[in-house]
Amino acid sequence: MKISANIPDVLYQQLESLAEKEQISIDGLVAISLSSKIALCSTRDYLEKKAKCVNGMHLRRC
């Protein structure tokens, strides 16, 4: 799938620099970065849901 996004020049320069340093394409670095952010948010949401299941000293199944 192809997407386009407008990002600040400074951010693009940092992206280019990091991609070169990591020896990966900019597309690859963007995909990895998005995947990492999605995984982080999914984990946070999962943990927040589980935390709501705690009721005093008793744990309930959720």
pLDDT for 50: 80
Q: Please, what's the b/e burial string for 8-45 (b: 16 or more CB within 10 A of its CB; e: otherwise)?
A: eeeeeeeeeeebeeeeeeeeebbeeeeeeeeeeeeeee
Specify whether the CB–CB gap between 29 and 22 falls below 8 A.
Answer: yes
Q: What is the pLDDT of residues 5-54, one digit of tens each?
A: 999 999 999 999 999 999 999 999 999 999 999 999 999 999 888 887 76
Residue 56 confidence (pLDDT): 53
Domain ranges of the chain: 9-59
